[in-house]
Amino acid sequence: MDDYVVNFAYRHDPNNGTGPTWPEYTAEDPLVYTFGSNLWQSPTITRDTFRANGMDYLTELLIAHPF
């Protein structure tokens, strides 16, 4: 994990070619690196769609009531 943090801080890319590829997060393809609940579970790549309804609500609220 430390390698990912150092690579991200230094190169703005956490991947170093030796571990699983950490995907780039984009609006078109919102992928996140999901860690297991314990050390024995391998991380997985998950689509970040579980917050879509809440984010849509906040966006509409901000449009209707700008600062």
Instruction: Summarize pLDDT for 19-47 with one digit per residue, the tens.
Output: 778 888 898 999 988 888 887 888 888 99
Q: What number of CA atoms fall less than 13 Å from residue 24's CA on the CB side? A: 5
Residue 18, pLDDT above cutoff 80:
no
* Total domains present in the chain: 1
Is the pLDDT at 62 greater than 90? The verdict is: yes
Query: If residue 33 lies in a helix (H) or strand (E), which one and from where to where?
Result: strand 31-34
Q: What is the pLDDT of residue 1?
A: 63
pLDDT at 14: 86
Give me the domain span that covers residue 55: 2-64
Residue 48, pLDDT > 70, answer: yes
